[in-house]
Amino acid sequence: MEIKEKIMEHTKEVEDIIVKFLPAEEGYQKTVMEAMNYSFLAGGKRLRPMLMLETYRLFGGSSKAIEPFMAAIEMIHTYSLIHDDLPAMDNDDYRRGRKTTHVVYGEAMGILAGDALLNFAFETACKGLMLEPGNPNVAKAMQLLAQKAGIYGMLGGQVADVESEGLPLEREKLDFIYDLKTGALIEASMLIGAVLAGADEEAQNVILQVAGDIGLAFQIQDDILDVTSDMETLGKPIGSDEKNHKTTYVTIRGLEQAQKDVEEISQRALDGLASLKEKNGYLDELVAYLIHRKK
Amino acid sequence: MEIKEKIMEHTKEVEDIIVKFLPAEEGYQKTVMEAMNYSFLAGGKRLRPMLMLETYRLFGGSSKAIEPFMAAIEMIHTYSLIHDDLPAMDNDDYRRGRKTTHVVYGEAMGILAGDALLNFAFETACKGLMLEPGNPNVAKAMQLLAQKAGIYGMLGGQVADVESEGLPLEREKLDFIYDLKTGALIEASMLIGAVLAGADEEAQNVILQVAGDIGLAFQIQDDILDVTSDMETLGKPIGSDEKNHKTTYVTIRGLEQAQKDVEEISQRALDGLASLKEKNGYLDELVAYLIHRKK
């Protein structure tokens, strides 16, 4: 089977798991539930829950406790997109070809829907905690989720990104933003998979490095595609970074060097996975594919 | 000692505990940490962490695991105020005599500071979880925090409140809003205290009813003060509900009946506490005081 087909199958599997945790649309608070589900169901690669599940499988995990955490990480990713799109932030009217949440439901409900998804992510993860309330690995997974999403994780990266808008950016700060804004949730995904499956500390450290590299390669590839792709392939306007005078990895390192870097970083991620005694062939293929993605 | 003095002393005690959990203001994400602390340190009654601590004591609790939960519930209360004040929501420039967060730090940072506090609440509660990772009571406390803050708790009440703005409100929906918007976090506070101290299920049910009554009495008293108080005493403009054509408990029941109801509901809360074999004299006094508060 071609890797693209395999990814489609696995995406379907992940979707079927995570949608089970969405709230029913009912009661006086129905609108916010509709807005949550509208945003969550807008599509996307489901990369984070997929990496979580495959890392969990890599280390032989097989319990249902992983499922609420898969849904939770996607809820956190979705809330961050809703709030990023708000008028006071990036002010985007469209995402993935659909109207953004605040355009459909109004700005107040956009704020509340984001808040609701962030809160519901923890509420959902608590279901995992209550499945095995005495298991310290589940408590550790909960802590990783909170840490990697917050001010020392994704949100910290968003803050630095918002504050850098329109300003020239030094390499150190760009690395910080990439590491946190994109990297942190991918690290959370893979580490939670590893921790819940009971991977030892040495293996957890390998996974942390691998996940950091995947996040970085993913983000650099985003910058490269913004320069080299076309709108039809990418599904969104290209050249937006240049238009917004945005400092990216490509503007700092140049296109050719950025392409070399992405190969090198990705290879390092694959080498990391290869160094483990545990194997998951699909995870290797997925990581290799992500690097050469065209959108 | 007068009850007011006692409350001041206890507020100081609670403050000293909860401020320990605030983030240091450093790194590229420094601004959001400043905004979080600015809002958190703006004062307030610290009612929720105080009720949590005193309910914990009522049932003989004495471990440090309560402390991160006290900070967490106040962080959630604070985030809800920051987002409520945003231009797209209530658009308030002042709260407790200080400029609101978005006025000082800008709207984007106001949104992010609220998100950050909500996330940091769970990050902080996880510290309690990691103190006793195998203790199912701590896991249960974490779940209560998430449930009572989210769409089936406080946030659900906010959504119904936002959607009712400017519309006539039937009694059933008003009760729903009061129960969730104000009641849920007070229920979370007292229940978490009871659960962490190991109270049995029967006692937990009494506490749930008592907390619900305290929340309701507190909110009705708010409506009464908006009609009967003066700006100097209250510290904010009075008559704002009438000006905004807002349906309140007072407009539905009339002032006199509302005053009778608040007495009755409060007495029910005190009777609930009296029915328990465990006693906390200060908690009784605090509840009795809250009802007759003038601001």
Q: Is a pLDDT exceeding 90 seen at residue A237?
A: no
The stretch A49-62 carries a mean pLDDT of 98
Top residue of A111, A161, A175 to mutate, by most chain B CBs within 10 Å, is A111
The stretch A223-237 carries a mean pLDDT of 77
B151·A32 Cβ contact <8 A: yes
- Contact list, A118 vs chain B (CB under 8 Å): 115, 118-119
- CB atoms under 10 Å from CB of B97, counted, come to 9
A151·B31 Cβ contact <8 A: no
Task: Give residue B236's pLDDT.
Answer: 66
Task: Give residue B240's pLDDT.
Answer: 73
- Contact list, A22 vs chain B (CB under 8 Å): none
Of A238 and B72, the one with more pLDDT: B72
Task: Give residue B295's pLDDT.
Answer: 66
Task: Give residue A129's pLDDT.
Answer: 93
AA letter at B28? Y
pLDDT bucket at B235, cuts 50 / 70 / 90:
low
- Contact list, B71 vs chain A (CB under 8 Å): none
A162·B108 Cβ contact <8 A: yes
Task: Give residue A271's pLDDT.
Answer: 97
A139·B123 Cβ contact <8 A: no
A162-181 pLDDT per residue, tens:
999 888 899 999 999 999 99
Task: Give residue A6's pLDDT.
Answer: 96
Task: Give residue A244's pLDDT.
Answer: 72
Q: Shortest Cα distance from A75 to chain B (angstroms)?
A: 13
Task: Give residue B65's pLDDT.
Answer: 93
Q: Is a pLDDT exceeding 70 seen at residue B231?
A: no
Q: Is a pLDDT exceeding 90 seen at residue A200?
A: yes
pLDDT bucket at A109, cuts 50 / 70 / 90:
very high
Q: What percent of chain A has pLDDT over 90?
A: 84
Of B266 and B240, the one with more pLDDT: B266
Nearest in space to A78 (alpha carbons), one of A54, A98, A55 = A98
CB of B46 closer than 8 Å to CB of B14? yes
Alpha carbon separation from A105 to A82, A114, A199, B79, B207 (Å, rounded): 11, 12, 43, 21, 37
Task: Give residue A58's pLDDT.
Answer: 98
pLDDT bucket at B77, cuts 50 / 70 / 90:
very high
Q: Is a pLDDT exceeding 90 seen at residue B67?
A: yes
Q: Shortest Cα distance from A155 to chain B (angstroms)?
A: 7
B160·A122 Cβ contact <8 A: no
Of B227 and A15, the one with more pLDDT: A15
Q: Is a pLDDT exceeding 90 seen at residue B157?
A: yes
Average pLDDT, chain B: 94
Ordered domains of chain B (ranges, CATH): 3-291 (1.10.600.10)
Geometric angle at alpha carbon B205, from B199 and B211, rounded to 5°: 100
A132-147 pLDDT per residue, tens:
888 999 999 999 999 9
Q: Shortest Cα distance from A6 to chain B (angstroms)?
A: 35
Top residue of A102, A151, A162 to mutate, by most chain B CBs within 10 Å, is A151
Nearest in space to B196 (alpha carbons), one of B56, B25, B28, B19 = B56
* Separation CA B273–CA B281 (nearest Å): 10
A148-164 pLDDT per residue, tens:
999 999 999 999 999 99
Nearest in space to B193 (alpha carbons), one of B280, B85, B83, B79 = B280
Of A116 and B166, the one with more pLDDT: A116
Q: Is a pLDDT exceeding 70 seen at residue A236?
A: no
Mean pLDDT lowest among A191-205, A280-294, B27-41, B131-145 = A280-294
Task: Give residue B19's pLDDT.
Answer: 98
Q: Shortest Cα distance from B294 to chain A (angstroms)?
A: 32
The stretch B278-292 carries a mean pLDDT of 91
Q: Is a pLDDT exceeding 90 seen at residue B226?
A: no
Which ranges of chain B would DSSP assign to H, the alpha helix?
3-18, 30-40, 47-58, 66-85, 101-105, 107-131, 136-149, 154-164, 171-177, 184-196, 201-228, 231-234, 240-243, 249-253, 255-275, 281-291
Task: Give residue A278's pLDDT.
Answer: 98
Q: What percent of chain A has pLDDT over 70?
A: 97
Average pLDDT, chain A: 94
Candidate from A115, A122, A135 with C-beta closest to B122: A122
* Separation CA B119–CA B135 (nearest Å): 22
Q: Is a pLDDT exceeding 90 seen at residue B106?
A: yes
Q: Is the dihedral of CA A55, A57, A61, A64 positive or negative?
A: positive
